[in-house]
Amino acid sequence: MRAVVQRVTRASVTVDGTITGEIGPGLLILICAMAGDTPAHADAMATRIAKLRIFKDDQGKMNRSILDIAGSALIVSQFTLAADLRGNRPGFSTAAAPEDGKRLYEHFTAQLKDLGIPTATGIFGADMAVDLTNDGPVTIWLDL
């Protein structure tokens, strides 16, 4: 799995003019299931993100996780993270097939919930508008 994680003060996703998910302080997670990924990959990614210490402690150092700050996660499916850029037009053959991608996206979301993180989501496969205030800015790329 591949993810881009952004520390945010707020974030929302809108589909067809309707907000489908929004959060306050926490993480905006753009997530992509790659070909060959399994539920174990989704579990590992969820655990890694839940423990990622990118929130400030009392001394201003990045020492706290989303669990430590009782933050929320907005999870948005993002197959374009699988882009192959050998040429000028990206290819996406390394992304999981849509049905596998949706299953793993839902599994990943359920895992974060099971870890105690309140979640909100976009709609898998939809044309979404994402609005956020990046805090820091802090943006982390993860590949598992």
Active site residue 80: yes
pLDDT value, residue 87: 84
What is the model's pTM? 0.96
pLDDT tens-digit map of 80-109: 999 998 889 999 999 999 999 999 999 999
Active site residue 78: yes
CA dihedral of 7, 12, 15, 19, whole degrees rounded to 10: 160
Cα–Cα distance measured from residue 49 to residue 66, given in angstroms and rounded to the nearest whole number? 8
CATH classification of the domain holding 87: 3.50.80.10
- Domain encompassing residue 98: 2-138
Q: Is residue 143 part of a domain?
A: no
Active site residue 18: no
pLDDT value, residue 108: 98
pLDDT value, residue 56: 97
Which residues is 129 bridged to in the sheet?
A: 14
Which of 6, 55, 79, 109 is catalytic? The answer is 79
Q: Is residue 92 part of a domain?
A: yes
- The torsion region of residue 26 among left (phi > 0), alpha (psi -120 to 50) and beta comes to left
Q: Is residue 144 part of a domain?
A: no
**Residue written as token pair 């009782």:** 70
Sequence-distant contacts of 110-114: CB under 8 A, at least 24 apart = 111/42, 111/43, 111/46, 111/47, 112/46, 112/49, 112/50, 112/73, 112/75
pLDDT tens-digit map of 51-70: 999 999 999 999 999 999 99
Which of 9, 80, 92, 133 is catalytic? The answer is 80
Which of 78, 109, 119, 121 is catalytic? The answer is 78
**By the 8 A CB rule, do 112 and 73 touch?**
yes
Nearest residue to 111 (alpha-carbon basis) of 64, 53, 35, 42: 42
